[in-house]
Chain A
Amino acid sequence: MNELVRLQDISFQYDEEADYALKGVSFSIYEGEWLAIVGHNGSGKSTLAKLLNGLQYAQEGTISVDGMLLSEDTVWEVRKKIGMVFQNPDNQFVGTTVQDDVAFGLENHGVAREEMVDRVRHSLEKVKMDQFLDQEPHHLSGGQKQRVAIAGVIALRPNLIILDEATSMLDPRGREEVLDTVRELKQDHQMTVISITHDLEEAAKADRIIVMNKGKLYREGSPAEIFQMDEELVQLGLDIPFPVKMSKLFKEKGIPLTKYHLTEEELVNELWTSHSKM
C-alpha cells in the first residue's frame, strides 16, 4: 500500500494553554484504507484533523501529504486533496440551497461553470441527494445535511476524506445513512477515509484504529487487536462495543467462542451455528 500522509514527530500546543494538545505523534496513512482515530474528549484527536488540513500548524514536526510538505505555501493544494466533514451539520452548510452548497468548494477553487454543473449533479447522485437540488437546509434532516457536506467534499475529488465526529450529532438512522454513503464511496473510488470518533462501534468497522490519549498515540492496530485491550479501553474513557462485551461475557461463562466478535452479525452467526458443533 502506498503512503498517502505521513506525520513525523508532531507536537502542538494551543495558545494560552500549558499542556500540549499533541506531543510527538508520528504515523502514516495509507492509500485506500479506512483509519479510525479514537479517544475521549481532549485526547487530541480533533486537533490532529485540523493539523492535517492546515487549519492549524504544528509547532514541531512535519506533515507530508502525497509527497508534498504541508506549509503555508502548499496548504491550498493540500486542502484540494483532503476534504473534511465536521461535526455540526448546520455550521458547515454555506449555500442557501443544496446545489449552491455543493458548488461552494468548486467556486473557491475556480472551477469553470459548465464543469461545476456536472460535478454538482454527479456528487449529489453519489450521496443520493440529487432529488433535493433546490432544497433549503432547514428542510433537511441532519443525516441529509451531512450527505450534502460529503457531496461538497467529493465534488473536489480529494484523495482523502476526514470525518471529524461527523456522525456524533445524528440519530442512529442518520448515522447509518452517512456511514453507508462513505463506505460506498470508499469502495467505488478507492477513497481513503479517516474517521475521528469516540464511537468504538463505528471504529470497529475500520481497517485500522489509532487510540489517542492525552495528546499521545497510545496504541495502533487492527480493530481485533485494539479490542483485546478491553478494560484498558474503558480506563481511557472509551466504551467497548456491545458485541465485544457480549463475546467476553460468553467466554467468562465458559462458552467457547472462536474469537472476540466485532460486529453483531458475526456474533449472532457464531451463536446460532454453535449448537450443532457441540
Chain B
Amino acid sequence: MMEKMIFGRYVPAQSIIHRMDPRSKLILIFLFVCVVFIANNVYTYAALIIYTFAMILLSKVPVRFIIAGLKPVFLLVIFTLILHLFLTREGAIIFELGPITIYEEGLRQGIFISLRFFLLILMTSILTLTTTPIEITDGLETLLGPLKKVKFPVHELALMMSISLRFIPTLMGETDKIMKAQTARGVDFSGGPIKERVKAVIPLLIPLFVSSFKRAEELATAMEARGYRGGEGRTKYRQLSWRITDTMMLLLLAALSVILILLRT
C-alpha cells in the first residue's frame, strides 16, 4: 500500500507527453510558472485554462489520477479564495450580511489567484504523472550540468537521488517486516492515544536506522568494487533524446505567452 503512495504517481501510457524528453518537460514547467503570472483578465485566464486542459488531454492520463493529485492542495486553494474574498477591500460592494462584506475586486482577485494556483498544480501533476522519477533525475542532471563549472556536485546529487529512489521499496519492505516483528513482540502500532503511538514508532525506527547504515556501507563497498570513483571519466548509459515534439511544445508555450501578452490589460 505504501508503495502505491509514492510510485502510484506515475501513470504509464503512450502519449506525446509521456514520450517527451524530461528536460523539455522540466523547462516547460519552469517557463509555465512564469507565464502564468502574465495573465490578469478573463481572456488571458481562459487562454491558460484551454492550454492546460489541452495538455491534460494530450497526456492521456485518466482524470481521476489528476483529481487525486489535487486533493491534498484543494483546501489550500479554497483557503486562498476565502482569504482574498474577505480581505480585499476594493471596488463595488456586491454582497453584505452583518459584518461580512464582499467587494467586487476581492471576488475577482480570489478567483484569479486560486485559479492560478490550480493551474500550476495541474501542470506539475502532469509532469509527475507522465515522467518516471528516474527520468526526472536524468533531466535535472543534464539541465544542471553547467553548474559543475562552479563546483556544484551535480553528478553526486543525481546519484544520490537515483539510489534513494532505488532503495525506497527495499526500505518499505523492511519497515513492514520490522513492524510485523515488533507486533509479534507485543508492540501496538494502531491503537491508543497519540503519545503511545509515537512511542511505538521508536522500536520501529531504531532497527530501520541501524540496518540502513549497514546497507549504505555494503553498497559503498560494492560500488567501489565495481570501479566507482566519482563522476569524472564516467560515461552514461541512460540517454535523453530531444525530438521535434519537444521543440514544438516549447514553441507552443511561446505562442501562448505571446497571446497572453497581447490579451492582457
Residues of A within 8 A of B (CB): 50, 53, 55, 76, 79-80, 83-84, 86, 88, 90-97, 99-100, 103-113, 116-117, 120, 136-138, 152-153, 156
Contact = CB atoms under 8 A, between A and B. Distances in A.
Contact of A94 (B163, B169, B229): B163
Contacts of A117: 237
A55 B225 contact: yes
8 contacts: A86-B225, A91-B219, A92-B219, A100-B134, A104-B226, A106-B235, A109-B227, A116-B235
A137 B170 contact: yes
A94 B235 contact: no
Interface in B208-247: 215, 218-219, 221-229, 233-239
Nearest to A80: B227
B142 interface: no
B101 interface: no
A106 B239 CA distance: 15
Contacts of B238: 100
Nearest to B234: A107
A121 to B, nearest CB: 12
A95 B234 contact: no
A100 B227 CA distance: 15
B235 A107 contact: yes
B169 A108 contact: no
Contact of B236 (A95, A99, A113, A137): A113
B215 A108 contact: no
Contacts of B237: 99-100, 103, 106-107, 113, 116-117, 120
Nearest to B227: A108
B166 A137 contact: yes
Contacts of A120: 237
Most-contacted residue by chain A among B134, B226, B227, B236 (CB, 10 A): B226
A108 B229 contact: yes
Contacts of B228: 104, 108
Interface in B116-172: 134, 162-163, 165-166, 169-170
Contact of B234 (A79, A94, A108): A108
A110 B232 CA distance: 9
A130 to B, nearest CB: 16
Contact of A84 (B134, B170, B225): B225
Q: How large is the interface on B (under 10, 10 to 19, 20 to 34, 35 or more residues)?
A: 20 to 34
Contacts of B225: 53, 55, 79, 83-84, 86
A57 to B, nearest CB: 13
A90 B170 contact: yes
A96 B165 contact: yes
B62 interface: no
B144 to A, nearest CB: 18
A80 B233 CA distance: 15
A92 B220 CA distance: 8
Interface of B: 134, 162-163, 165-166, 169-170, 173, 215, 218-219, 221-229, 233-239
Contacts of B173: 138
B222 A110 contact: no
Nearest to B166: A96
Nearest to A97: B134
B175 to A, nearest CB: 13
The 8 closest A-B pairs by CB, nearest first: A103-B237, A92-B222, A138-B169, A91-B218, A108-B227, A105-B226, A84-B225, A96-B166
A129 B165 CA distance: 22
A93 B166 contact: yes
Contacts of B169: 136-138
A86 B227 contact: no
A99 to B, nearest CB: 7
Nearest to B224: A55
Contacts of A116: 235, 237
Contacts of A90: 170, 215
Contacts of B134: 96-97, 100
Given A99-B237, A111-B235, A116-B235, A94 B170 contact: no
A109 B219 CA distance: 18
Given A83-B226, A90-B215, 18 more contacts: A50-B221, A76-B227, A79-B226, A86-B225, A88-B218, A91-B215, A94-B166, A94-B219, A94-B226, A95-B162, A99-B237, A100-B237, A100-B238, A103-B237, A105-B227, A108-B226, A108-B227, A108-B228
B239 A113 contact: yes
Nearest to A82: B225
A86 B235 contact: no
B159 to A, nearest CB: 9
